[in-house]
Amino acid sequence: MTNRTNRIAFQGDFGANSDMACRDMFPDMSPLPCPTFEDAFVAVENGDADLAMIPIENTIAGRVADIHHLLPESRLHIVGEYFMPIRFQLMVLPGVTRDEIRTVHSHIHALGQCRKIIRNNGWKPVVAGDTAGAAKLIAETGERSMAALAPRLAADLYGLEIIAENVEDTENNVTRFVVLSRDETIARRSSPNELIVTTFIFNVRNIPAALYKALGGFATNGINMTKLESYQLGGKFVATQFYADIEGHPDDTPVMQALEELRFFSEKVRILGVYKGHPMRGKL
């Protein structure tokens, strides 16, 4: 890659979960905060960052819908994945007690992952752009009735006090991130048993049972499909695109045969990435 910046873009403010994922996986790179997911994509496309760390799904909240629309249009490539257990801390201005709290601010997914503590205390949930942004807002406004749900790092960065730890509804709260790059990098196995993940999108032909026929090759070739999602294109119910993850490399004979069958029954097939699976994959 030419003109490297040594920066990795993420959506949110410093201290967000995406920021922590960047620091965990790429400790030698500088995280670049971006207001929106689209801005993070553009930062990589324009060369302002080398990579982007983007959340794609959560074990509790499900998929991050925006990403499935941005990925196919961006022409960026998935070059890695990262699984991160998510822990939320309830934080306030120093000295604030629970009975002073009236509103709890955070990203919409974070609020959904911490419903119990919000409901049990009768607090009003307020959606913020991201978790760390909520913490930053409270620090800037100085309003004692406001609390934030954010990672521990955000409390350190914005001078807030944690009054309840790990308040997520369940311990099995994990977010899967994908690492995006302008440059396509096809992963190669360093050992025979190393797990490779292939991600692709496809549009089936408008014929009866097209999806069933298109996917038949994965079953007959023993390919494990770990994700299959559909979403509409252009606001039309008849225009559907599918997103899929499989375990295997396109050079593997079974995967090669399955993709050939997929292409026969599809109008378009595009591989978004071939990358090494994270150690937590399959263990959740």
Other beta carbons less than 10 A from residue 259's beta carbon: 23
Q: What is the DSSP letter of 19?
A: H
Structure tokens belonging to residue 6: 């040594």
Structure tokens belonging to residue 41: 């994509």
Q: Which amino acid is at 8?
A: I
Other beta carbons less than 10 A from residue 119's beta carbon: 10
CB 59 within 8 A of CB 284: yes
Task: Name residue, tokens 């995280």.
Answer: 31
Predicted confidence (pLDDT) per residue in 181-236, tens digit: 999 999 999 888 899 999 999 998 878 888 999 999 999 999 999 999 888 776 66
Q: What is the DSSP letter of 98?
A: G
Closest CA to 7 of 133, 157, 132, 181: 181
* Predicted pLDDT of residue 69: 79
- The pTM score is 0.88
* Predicted pLDDT of residue 109: 86
Average model confidence (pLDDT) across the chain? 92
Closest CA to 15 of 133, 174, 141, 94: 133
Q: What are residue 84's DSSP bridge partners? A: 175
Q: Which H/E stretch holds residue 85? A: strand 77-85
Structure tokens belonging to residue 51: 């990579």
Predicted confidence (pLDDT) per residue in 51-84, tens digit: 999 999 988 878 887 787 788 888 899 999 999 9
From the centroid of its chain, how far is CA 27? 19
Give the catalytic positions in this structure.
Answer: 175, 177
